[in-house]
Amino acid sequence: MTQSVVVQVGQCGNQVGCRFWDLALREHAHVNKRGLYDEALSSFFRNVDPRKSDGGACCVGGRIQHLKARAVLIDMEEGVVHGILQGPLREVFDSTQLLTDVSGSGNNWAVGNLMYGSAYRDSIVNKLRKAAEHCDCLQCFFLIHSMGGGTGSGLGTRVLSLLEEEFPDVCRIVTAMYPSAEDDVITSPYNSVLAMRELTEHADCVLPVENQSLVDIVNKISLMSHDAKPGCVLKKESTVTSGQGGVSPTERPFDAMNNIVANLLLNITSSSRFDGSLNMDLNEIANNLVPFPRLHYLVPSLTPLYTLADVNIPTRRLDQMFSDAFSKEHQLIRADPKHSLYLACALMVRGNVQVSDLRRNIERLRPSLPFVSWNQEGWKTGLCSVPPVGHAHSLLALANNTCVKPTFMELRDRFTKLYKKKAHLHHYLHVDGMEQSAFSEALSSLSALIEEYHHLDATKARLIPDAPRLSIAR
């Protein structure tokens, strides 16, 4: 088995990461009844025996002693990280994995990337190296951060460049939380576009998640609870609504949103954590879904979007789940892939599902999904035998699709409105090392990315449909 390390940066990154570790532990506890440290646990957890003088890790196959997450937690405000250390997950981390400051980044990309990135560079690198040294076969870094704030966007993307610099051969998968148009951080368009340049240059894959999509999904769940229809009732104090599991009560409004993103991470890592008849290696995601290095933004869609512990709903039929995965309602960004162009698509299924089920549903859905002419067979599939707790099966779809273009265009428009007036620019230019050219270069990078998607979209009109078959009279 291989190992992966999760790097969570900023308030949002640490809140989502906290939910992931909580749900992952529950998932492993449901499967691991013998209390043994197996290969499944070793993929994301170390087993440490505190009785050993060197605090050394225990070998796979022995009893579980003291699980430590393979993680690095970074935030320039200490509140969220300190809250984690005082909550139910406090034993999963130790001080060597944490890096905090007290003053924050003031919603300023330059402060996070240049000021804190320079001041804490050596400390960050040392913690990343330490986490890597604990791995026998390091396969992937998962980076979680927001795009709108200063620490998440700035320091998060600085960490990404350090990962490429220190571990160039290790896959880098980023889960990036994009702000909504109504975001209360007025400088979020600057932060997001400056961060986008770094993501485009240094990540292997980016899973964009829009806050507004999460809000829409949570509102739908709330409506189900208010309707109080039989079989569709939201349980109070469930894992979607409660502040339990390592998140403080003051963060409860965001628990449901964080839970959805944590479930995305649970599903994408399931093949690394459990056995399956057709397990998908994490490296295969980039190898199969990214035909061009800059076009590595993968649209995630999940079904179910919430666990059975949260909402009492009838179990979806398997075929219906495949249809759900390609509907707008189950995507984590607001886009319509069926009316855009697919470069490639991965389906990661969990539970008692056969390869024949996968093939049948791909053939059923294929006619309604426009793929580029040179990659009509651009499907990558994975089967993990262990379903999520409380479910018979689940499905994660990752689509490399030109439907991300409108999201990026909207972000560019919001950036341009501020930049034309040079509004708030002085806050950034006061930071040592920050030049105004960084803004124009970031804007040029984003425009070039949009243009690449536009050129691909233009080929959609030239796609030749299958020739109609001759009907034979009987």
Query: Is the pLDDT confidence value at 231 over 80?
Result: no
> 67-69 and 45-47 as β-strands: parallel, antiparallel, unpaired?
antiparallel
Query: Is the pLDDT confidence value at 393 over 50?
Result: yes
- Give the separation between CA 21 and CA 19, rounded to whole angstroms: 6
How does pLDDT run across 408-457, given as a tens digit for each residue? 999 999 999 999 999 999 999 999 999 999 999 999 999 999 999 999 99
pLDDT at position 116, please? 98
pLDDT at position 279, please? 83
Could you tell me the CATH superfamily of domain 3-290? Tubulin/FtsZ, GTPase domain (3.40.50.1440)
pLDDT at position 453, please? 97
pLDDT at position 237, please? 39
pLDDT at position 236, please? 43
**CA distances from residue 46 to 25, 49, 51, 262 in whole angstroms, order as listed:** 12, 10, 15, 20
Q: Which of 196-200, 219-223, 382-386, 420-424 has the lowest mean pLDDT?
A: 219-223
Q: Return the H-helix or E-strand segment holding 397.
A: strand 393-401
Mean pLDDT of the chain: 88
Confidence of residue 253 (pLDDT cuts 50, 70, 90): low
> Where are the chain's structural domains?
3-290, 406-462
How does pLDDT run across 373-382, given as a tens digit for each residue? 999 999 999 9
CATH number for the domain formed by residue range(s) 406-462: 1.10.287
Q: Which of 133-147, 174-188, 225-239, 306-320 has the lowest mean pLDDT?
A: 225-239
Question: Could you tell me the two tokens for 70?
Answer: 């393979």
pLDDT at position 17, please? 96
- Give the separation between CA 234 and CA 240, rounded to whole angstroms: 9
Report yes or no: 117 and 74 within 8 Å, Cβ to Cβ: no
Confidence of residue 220 (pLDDT cuts 50, 70, 90): confident
pLDDT at position 57, please? 65
Helices (H), 290-402: 318-325, 355-365
Question: Could you tell me the two tokens for 353?
Answer: 């599902």
Q: Which of 14-23, 67-76, 213-222 has the lowest mean pLDDT?
A: 213-222
pLDDT at position 314, please? 57
Confidence of residue 21 (pLDDT cuts 50, 70, 90): very high
Query: Is the pLDDT confidence value at 461 over 70?
Result: no
pLDDT at position 329, please? 87
Query: Is the pLDDT confidence value at 126 over 70?
Result: yes
- Give the separation between CA 468 and CA 438, rounded to whole angstroms: 53
- Average of per-residue pLDDT across 123-133: 97
Residue 164: burial class (beta carbons within 10 Å; 0-12, 13-18, 19+)? middle
Packed helices 252-273 and 282-289: angle between N→C axes, nearest 10 degrees: 90
Nearest CA-CA partner of 172 in 293, 63, 61: 293
Report yes or no: 155 and 113 within 8 Å, Cβ to Cβ: yes
Residue whose entry in the numeric block shows the structure tokens 């400051």: 101
Nearest CA-CA partner of 266 in 293, 302, 213, 299: 302
- Give the separation between CA 13 and CA 176, rounded to whole angstroms: 9
pLDDT at position 276, please? 76
How does pLDDT run across 162-182, given as a tens digit for each residue? 999 999 999 999 999 999 888
Packed helices 188-202 and 405-420: angle between N→C axes, nearest 10 degrees: 130
- Give the separation between CA 92 and CA 402, rounded to whole angstroms: 40
Packed helices 10-31 and 252-273: angle between N→C axes, nearest 10 degrees: 50
Percent of the chain with pLDDT over 70: 87
Number of neighbouring beta carbons within 10 Å of residue 250 = 10
pLDDT at position 306, please? 66
Report yes or no: 320 and 387 within 8 Å, Cβ to Cβ: no
Residue whose entry in the numeric block shows the structure tokens 């790097």: 7
Q: Give first-to-last CA distance, the chain, whole Å.
A: 58
Percent of the chain with pLDDT over 90: 70
CA atoms within 13 A on the CB side of 359: 4
Query: Is the pLDDT confidence value at 295 over 50?
Result: yes
pLDDT at position 207, please? 98
What SS3 class is residue 281? coil
- Average of per-residue pLDDT across 57-78: 89
Can you say whether residue 287 is alpha, beta or left, with left for phi > 0 and alpha for psi between -120 and 50 degrees? alpha
Of residues 310 and 101, which shows the higher confidence score? Answer: 101
Report yes or no: 456 and 411 within 8 Å, Cβ to Cβ: no
Q: Which residues pair with 393 in a beta bridge?
A: 351
